[in-house]
Structure 1
Amino acid sequence: MFAPDIYRARRAALAQQVGSGLILLLGNADSPMNYTDNIYHFRQDSSFLYFFGLDLPGLAAVIDVEADSATLFGDDGGLDSIVWTGPLPSLAEQAQAVAVSQTLALSKLDGVVSRARDGGRKVHYLPPYRAEHRVWLAELLQLYVAAVDDAASESLTRAVIALRSVKSAEEIAEMENTLEVAYRMHMLAMRSSRPGVKEQEVVGLMTGLAQSQGRALAYPVIFSRDGHILHNHGHGYTLKAGDLVVNDAGAESPLHYASDITRTIPVAGRFNERQKQVYQAVLDAQLAAIDAMKPGVPYREVHDLAARVLVSGLAPTGLFKGDAAEVVASGAYALVFPHGLGHHIGLDVHDMEALNENWVGYGEGVERASEFGRKSLRLGRPLREGWVVTVEPGAYFIPALIERWAAEQRHAGLIDYDVARQYADFGGIRIEDDVLITADGARVLGKPIPKTITEIEALASA
């Protein structure tokens, strides 16, 4: 955990922004895989972690804004639980570690919330993403389960987004910590991607490395020859010389801050000429985007810049016809770049998106687009100092998308579909880094992971 005063200051800032009422934060519980005692790896709710820091199931907390107090709710384990878990610090001891002086049994939470509600006080809570939290909130607040989401507090949600968006020096250090493990995972994958090796073997090596360092994965690894399938979690393919493999893999720090890194690996250590052309276009797009990032620049403009650089880089292929700016403005570029340039990252790999994706990524005069491609951009609003965002342009040749657009003659004046079909067996390329917005620019976090053609070929063929 961070120092106790950090959590105290975060709660004070939250209370000040919300202004009045009771702030209710629910921690996560253990979740069974197939029966009660066989559970998934526990992961605490990220906002609970941010304000109360405790990484154990069965907790809840209340901040009373008017009383300027915080109370932690939970139960001390008895002898039966000690048999299975070993001795744990008492609830009071845990609370002291995060600067909370008042604790109550979890059964007392209902009474505290009921008294506030009966007294006409506003009970603020965040939009739930787990079904058991919807049921719990419905019971606490005497609501229908179906009404719980709509009654979530907008003022609390927006305050949490504002606070969690800007990363402190301590948080950046945590992210650098986990990026050290991500660096090792990607270096291992580049050295291990050889003809005859199954994708699952490389995934196993990366997962084992993370676990050997006491880290969980930040998300299920995407490691696939079929890189044009953006979230492909199948790993049964046996690698062959000439394949390109998209490796999207990251770990969590001990305090659950995420890393999210993607590299594209040539199996057998060499890109062919066609692969080099596309790869360099993607890399140039990423480098141009990072160079353009600074406080005040709308990230949607950075996305469009990356798309223009990508289209220009693909000019020698003949895929797109006409000026790059026209191709991007029309949306034709989304044939090969159908997702957004990046997203917030922090305690969540897609940071705070459980709260409200549009509130996290839009506003300040920037509205989310509705057309294919741009609608998948999770972050469009102006960048701010202290944000950490991913920068992950890609180029993908998706046979079904090519054929659908060709049949519709969509953007026919800007796309040569005969050329597109020649790339139907190509797969995809993505390059991704985690980037801190500084006072006057941007900085890629973590130890540099090879990404130029020369660097990758030198490592992958060693």
Structure 2
Amino acid sequence: MIKEKEYKGRREKFAKKLQSDSVAIFCAAEQKVRSNDTEYPYRQDSNFYYLTGFKEDNSTLVFVKKNTTYKIYLFVEKKDPVKELWTGKRLGAEKAKELFDVDDVFEIEHFAPKLQEFLEEKNKLYYDFKVKNKLLDQVKLLAKNILYYKDAAKTVETMRLIKSTNEIKLIQKALEITKEAHHKAIQMSQKLSFEYELQAEIEYIFKKNGAYSDAYTSIVASGDNANTLHYIDNNMALNKGDLILIDAGCEYEYYSSDITRTIPVSGKFTKAQKELYQMVLDVEKKIISMMKPNILRSELQNEAEKMLCEGMVKLGILKGSVKKLLKDKVHKKYFPHGIGHYMGLDVHDQNPYKNQKNKEIPLKAGMILTIEPGIYLPEDDKKIPKKYRGIGIRIEDDILVTKEGYENLSKEILKEIKDIESYSSL
């Protein structure tokens, strides 16, 4: 768990980055309507949560800076026994003052008049440009003296690039749960009939272990379905002889895991499946081995594309010079996505890949990225050797960049052919 001391440190770090005579506002996420009077399960805005650890909606965090001094205020929903009967207990301002180390806590109904006071003699306003919130509508009406609007999200999302020890521990916990779920899938694939049954087994493990939210909608794609990168219907039959691409990870205390494994329905890979799988696995292991501080993500991408292209030529999927195929981007038809992405509070963490000068940010110790090469060979592509058609394979791990190089946080999740085949028979 992350304690208030760490959240306070984040707020102070952010406050020091603000310019003089400014106000910065972060709003909690709003409830989202599913249909009529029913709502989706609530999930706090990641930047707001990063600075507060507070999970309630209808809340705001406000920074007020004059010269080099600053004040930080939290606004929360007031206690209301009638509302709480229907939607659950609220912390309230009095209890929030005890728990949060801020300069003051107010009830949200006082937000507009207090904000008007805060904005006096201020000419810069920071807020998250991506967020749409009714409270921000009030802000814009009151911000009559503001000369400069700045995106507060960019500063916080840059801070989020480097994970603390406590953040890494939460991601490791999420991965422990995800490991159990993927291993269960290996054992159950031969016993079930439909993709959604396997999805249910995976997500049961998540929730049984206290990961109440999926980090994203699980992909359980058998056969040719694996060639749709974001396939989430998960409603087709599991057929003997097919592979199943499972991209599934849980969220534990707001921190994500993101793992893909590709396993055989029958428990055994065919010769053609082994050839493709081993090619992808060799690429993944090589790219992971390259990770270290100061290397560029584009270097990892280029090496992955080169290796996959070479592998496809060797297997007869592509024909011609590797150099020319890469130049003409022919290989992208079968490997269209990036080699990986940042991961943390969001499964695709909202962190910058380029700095303010538009230059690529090199890897640094404390970053966590996925590495996920793949190959996708549609069933109806007649240019592909018949034995490979209808096969989609992706292998994905979550990697921490360290001072010495890297640590594969998901290394215990089985991915070697012999290990998957052995485990499936247990």
* 8 Å Cα contact 2:369/2:400 also seen in 1: yes
1:10 alignment counterpart: 10
Which amino acid is the alignment partner of residue 299 of structure 2? E
Cα distance, 1:316–1:45 mapped onto 2, change above 3 Å: same
Partner of 1:62, secondary structure, is: strand
Looking at structure 2, the residues matched to 461 and 304 of structure 1 have their Cα atoms a distance apart, in angstroms, of 38
1:414 alignment counterpart: none
1:32 alignment counterpart: 33
Q: Does 1:434 align with 2:398?
A: yes
1:394 alignment counterpart: 374
Matching residue within 202, 208, 216 for 1:206: 202
Matching residue within 215, 218, 222 for 1:218: 215
Cα distance, 1:14–1:423 mapped onto 2, change above 3 Å: farther
Looking at structure 1, the residues matched to 250 and 187 of structure 2 have their Cα atoms a distance apart, in angstroms, of 19
* Farther-moved stretch of structure 1 (1-10 vs 300-309): 1-10
* 8 Å Cα contact 2:174/2:251 also seen in 1: yes
Which amino acid is the alignment partner of residue 22 of structure 1? V
Partner of 1:68, secondary structure, is: strand
2:268 alignment counterpart: 270
Matching residue within 345, 348, 353 for 1:361: 353
Matching residue within 316, 336, 345 for 2:343: 345
Looking at structure 2, the residues matched to 113 and 222 of structure 1 have their Cα atoms a distance apart, in angstroms, of 44
Aligned positions of 1:225-304 closer than 5 A:
225=222, 226-254=225-253, 256-304=254-302
1:162 alignment counterpart: 158
Aligned positions of 1:32-431 closer than 5 A:
32-36=33-37, 38-66=38-66, 67-85=69-87, 87-129=89-131, 131=132, 133=133, 135-142=134-141, 153-154=150-151, 156-194=152-190, 197-215=193-211, 216-225=213-222, 226-254=225-253, 256-352=254-350, 360-363=352-355, 381-398=361-378, 419-420=383-384, 422=386, 425-431=389-395
Which amino acid is the alignment partner of residue 171 of structure 1? E
* 8 Å Cα contact 1:247/1:264 also seen in 2: yes
TM superposition shift of 1:91: 2.7
Which amino acid is the alignment partner of residue 114 of structure 2? V
Partner of 2:226, secondary structure, is: coil
Cα distance, 1:53–1:286 mapped onto 2, change above 3 Å: same
Structure 2: tracts of 5 or more residues without a match: none
Give the TM-score taking structure 2 as reference length. Answer: 0.91
Partner of 1:165, secondary structure, is: coil
* 8 Å Cα contact 1:363/1:381 also seen in 2: yes
Cα distance, 1:244–1:101 mapped onto 2, change above 3 Å: same
* 8 Å Cα contact 1:18/1:159 also seen in 2: no
Cα distance, 1:43–1:86 mapped onto 2, change above 3 Å: closer
Show CA shifts across 1:167-208 (max 9, x none).
011110010011111101101111111265111001011111
- Please state which structure has a larger fraction of its residues in helix: 1
Which amino acid is the alignment partner of residue 284 of structure 2? Q
TM superposition shift of 1:445: 0.8
Show CA shifts across 1:313-370 (max 9, x none).
33332122344344334322211100001110000000016xxxxxx12348776xxx
Which amino acid is the alignment partner of residue 98 of structure 2? Q
Looking at structure 2, the residues matched to 95 and 50 of structure 1 have their Cα atoms a distance apart, in angstroms, of 18
* 8 Å Cα contact 1:282/1:393 also seen in 2: yes
* 8 Å Cα contact 2:261/2:415 also seen in 1: yes
Looking at structure 1, the residues matched to 358 and 249 of structure 2 have their Cα atoms a distance apart, in angstroms, of 30
Which amino acid is the alignment partner of residue 364 of structure 2? R
Cα distance, 1:78–1:294 mapped onto 2, change above 3 Å: same
Looking at structure 1, the residues matched to 183 and 235 of structure 2 have their Cα atoms a distance apart, in angstroms, of 21
TM superposition shift of 1:101: 4.1
Looking at structure 2, the residues matched to 107 and 64 of structure 1 have their Cα atoms a distance apart, in angstroms, of 19
TM superposition shift of 1:15: 1.2
Show CA shifts across 1:270-315 (max 9, x none).
1111111111111111111111111111101101111212222333
Looking at structure 1, the residues matched to 56 and 182 of structure 2 have their Cα atoms a distance apart, in angstroms, of 30
Looking at structure 2, the residues matched to 248 and 99 of structure 1 have their Cα atoms a distance apart, in angstroms, of 39
TM superposition shift of 1:457: 1.2
Cα distance, 1:124–1:73 mapped onto 2, change above 3 Å: same
Which amino acid is the alignment partner of residue 339 of structure 2? L
Looking at structure 1, the residues matched to 102 and 298 of structure 2 have their Cα atoms a distance apart, in angstroms, of 41
Looking at structure 2, the residues matched to 157 and 88 of structure 1 have their Cα atoms a distance apart, in angstroms, of 27
Looking at structure 1, the residues matched to 388 and 367 of structure 2 have their Cα atoms a distance apart, in angstroms, of 37
* Farther-moved stretch of structure 1 (72-81 vs 274-283): 72-81
Partner of 2:325, secondary structure, is: helix
Cα RMSD, aligned residues only: 2.3
Cα distance, 1:366–1:305 mapped onto 2, change above 3 Å: farther
Looking at structure 1, the residues matched to 188 and 342 of structure 2 have their Cα atoms a distance apart, in angstroms, of 30
Which amino acid is the alignment partner of residue 139 of structure 2? L
* 8 Å Cα contact 2:23/2:122 also seen in 1: no
Show CA shifts across 1:44-73 (max 9, x none).
000111101101122111012334221111
Which amino acid is the alignment partner of residue 237 of structure 1? M
Looking at structure 1, the residues matched to 155 and 3 of structure 2 have their Cα atoms a distance apart, in angstroms, of 22
Looking at structure 1, the residues matched to 267 and 330 of structure 2 have their Cα atoms a distance apart, in angstroms, of 32
TM superposition shift of 1:213: 1.7
TM superposition shift of 1:88: 4.1
Partner of 1:449, secondary structure, is: coil
Show CA shifts across 1:197-248 (max 9, x none).
1110010111112111221111110111111100001111111111111100
* 8 Å Cα contact 1:397/1:423 also seen in 2: no
Partner of 1:459, secondary structure, is: helix
TM superposition shift of 1:382: 1.5
- Please state which structure has a larger fraction of its residues in strand: 2
Looking at structure 2, the residues matched to 434 and 70 of structure 1 have their Cα atoms a distance apart, in angstroms, of 35
TM superposition shift of 1:77: 2.0
* Farther-moved stretch of structure 1 (15-24 vs 261-270): 15-24
Looking at structure 2, the residues matched to 242 and 399 of structure 1 have their Cα atoms a distance apart, in angstroms, of 14
1:375 alignment counterpart: none
